[in-house]
Amino acid sequence: MVYPAVSGGEQTLRELVHEFKTRGPVYRRTVQTTLKASYTNHYRRGLIRLLDVLEFRSSNHTHRPVIEALALVARYASAGNTTYYPLGETVPVHKAMGGDWAEVVHRADKRGRRRVVRMVYEVVAFQALRDQLKCKEIWVVGADKWRNPDDDLPQDFAERREEHYRELRKPLDAAVFVDELREQMTTELTLLNDGMPKLGWLDIAERKSGAIRLTPAEAQPEPKNLRRIKNEVQRRWGVVPLIDMLKEAVLRTGCLDAVTSVSGGGSLSAEVLAERLLLVIYAYGTNTGIKAVASGGHGHTEDELRYVRRRYLSAESARAIAVNIANATFAARSTELWGQGSTAVASDSTHVRAYDQNLFTEWHSRYGGRGVLIYWHVEKKSLAIHSQLINCTASEVAAMVEGAMRHGTTMDVEANYTDSHGHLVTWTPCPSLRVGGGRHGRQVRWPWGRPCAYGSGVRRTARPWSSCSTRTRTRSRSLRGSCGSSRPGTARRTRWSRTPTTYVISGGSSRAGV
């Protein structure tokens, strides 16, 4: 028995083993292998094409090997399934090849010769590019945020140094600036340290679930008029069955007309089709099931309801029904009662538990259960304008952009509040781009031949190299960047036009901007 001599006993040893498995060399090798596979199978195609569009430069000779490494990657981009670089090829060596990647970048071939693995070398080259772009040791020709750092300062900055520092209210001496900043940080941290123990709603203690715990907020008093409104609704209408509310929404909006336009006409009359669609929607919406709903005294059998479900109620028709209801709600709203229409939406996912037998059921590690994820876009007045089914392991950034741009309603979405890294992603439409003569001109396509088809009813096109700029507002700062920025931000108009709108997208895998 060894663990009784260790502080904490067997639990301490188990935690040490867990830490080794999650942070040790085996875990790092697994992460590297997974990253290489993701790059090879998915991300490589787009990154290689970026090398043909963007021109990278560096004003520091120390980082020239990274520029040379990118040139080598571009030169062998179409080399096929070549595992290693040729023996006579000079492979630039940079700092990213060391550390944890050193054993993965180099490998011995069948003859025992130490070779450079091509795909792994490309991964570390792009990682080095990412790190150097952040500090502008490497910059992009023609970019805004990633431009030459020499262009960040005015050309006469050295001659008017004192004037510029005075406008910025900063001391000329760097040591004085550091001392003031250190003093300010010490003061604020001292206030935080002294004030936290006095907060009654905050408890900090050693516990397995987390050291910081917030006490539940007290319930807010009920508004005086809310009880009166509830009583008046109860007196006037009483208990209204949900099926009646659904029927009333259908009669007022005519949303079921969109079903035949999407799924095509049939032999059923409009009245019979509407009744069966109402029953099917009610069966799925309340999770009652078609079999239970078919047992009612409405005269429609289970087979007839299931036929309508297969023939007419598709994902496209259900989305068209939701769009019609949302548009009718926007049109019926009174400005005096609801206020001016909002241009902002909030988006988030909801984990809906489902049985294991369901083919769409997935295990979600964060929620700790099986089910599916539904991603919602809800406007300020609590009306859902878009919903979609996403994988439990999918990035919610793509779902956020998809719903905000393809919601299909009449709402003009200009801001999207989401829980993606605490950023506020906003955008405004750019005009559609057409070149050439004639009334309509021709559409500008993407370099790889795929037009931007965002929007409903109108074919939209945009150039990824357009002159739009992006701006990101976080909790503490505002950053600007070019359209190629991976930061979420705002794409502003390049010019005003009455032509259909076009949205310019920029972003990476973890952050997106529109």
What element of type H or E holds 331?
Answer: helix 315-332
Asked if residues 495 and 471 have their Cβ atoms less than 8 Å apart, the reply is no
* Mean pLDDT computed over 215-240: 87
Query: Cβ–Cβ contacts within 10 Å for residue 44, how many?
Result: 17
Q: pLDDT tens, 127-164? A: 899 888 888 889 999 988 888 888 887 788 888 889 88
Q: Is the pLDDT reported for residue 213 higher than 90?
A: no
Higher pLDDT, 41 or 445: 41
pLDDT at 154: 79
Asked if residues 136 and 144 have their Cβ atoms less than 8 Å apart, the reply is no
The rounded distance, in Å, linking the Cα atoms of 111 and 457 is 61
Asked if residues 137 and 148 have their Cβ atoms less than 8 Å apart, the reply is no
Across-strand partners of 463? none
Q: Is the pLDDT reported for residue 102 higher than 70?
A: yes
The rounded distance, in Å, linking the Cα atoms of 436 and 434 is 7
Q: Is the pLDDT reported for residue 399 higher than 90?
A: no
pLDDT tier, 444 (very low <50, low <70, confident <90, very high otherwise): very low
* Amino acid at site 376: W
Measured in degrees and rounded to the nearest 5, phi and psi for residue 332 equal: -85, -10
Kindly give the pairing relationship between strand 506-507 and strand 501-502: unpaired
Higher pLDDT, 8 or 195: 195
In 442-477, which ranges are E strands?
A: 442-443, 469-473
pLDDT tier, 476 (very low <50, low <70, confident <90, very high otherwise): very low
Q: Is the pLDDT reported for residue 67 higher than 80?
A: yes
The rounded distance, in Å, linking the Cα atoms of 87 and 25 is 29
pLDDT at 66: 92
Q: What is the mean pLDDT of the chain?
A: 76
pLDDT tier, 421 (very low <50, low <70, confident <90, very high otherwise): very low
Q: pLDDT tens, 344-371? A: 899 999 988 887 777 778 888 777 788 8
Work out the angle at residue 30's Cα, subtended by the Cα atoms of residues 121 and 109, and round it to the nearest 5 degrees: 45
Asked if residues 451 and 459 have their Cβ atoms less than 8 Å apart, the reply is yes
pLDDT at 490: 35
Q: pLDDT tens, 271-301? A: 898 999 999 999 988 888 899 999 988 889 9
pLDDT at 325: 92
CB-count exposure of residue 399 (10 Å: 0-12, 13-18, 19+): buried
Q: Which residues contact 49 (CB under 8 A, 6 or more apart)?
A: 447, 448
Q: Is the pLDDT reported for residue 425 higher than 80?
A: no
* Amino acid at site 90: T
SS3 102: helix
The rounded distance, in Å, linking the Cα atoms of 178 and 400 is 41
pLDDT at 100: 77
Q: pLDDT tens, 174-211? A: 999 999 999 999 999 999 989 988 888 888 888 877 78
What element of type H or E holds 373?
Answer: strand 369-379
Q: pLDDT tens, 366-388? A: 777 888 889 999 998 889 999 99
pLDDT at 436: 43
pLDDT at 406: 87
Q: Is the pLDDT reported for residue 417 higher than 70?
A: yes
pLDDT at 153: 77
Q: Could you tell me the two tokens for 143? A: 């970019």
Please choose, from the candidates 252, 233, 322, the residue with its C-alpha nearest in 3D space to the C-alpha of residue 281. Answer: 322
* Mean pLDDT computed over 316-321: 89
Virtual torsion, Cα 403, 408, 414, 415, nearest 10 deg: -30
pLDDT tier, 502 (very low <50, low <70, confident <90, very high otherwise): very low
Measured in degrees and rounded to the nearest 5, phi and psi for residue 108 equal: -85, 130
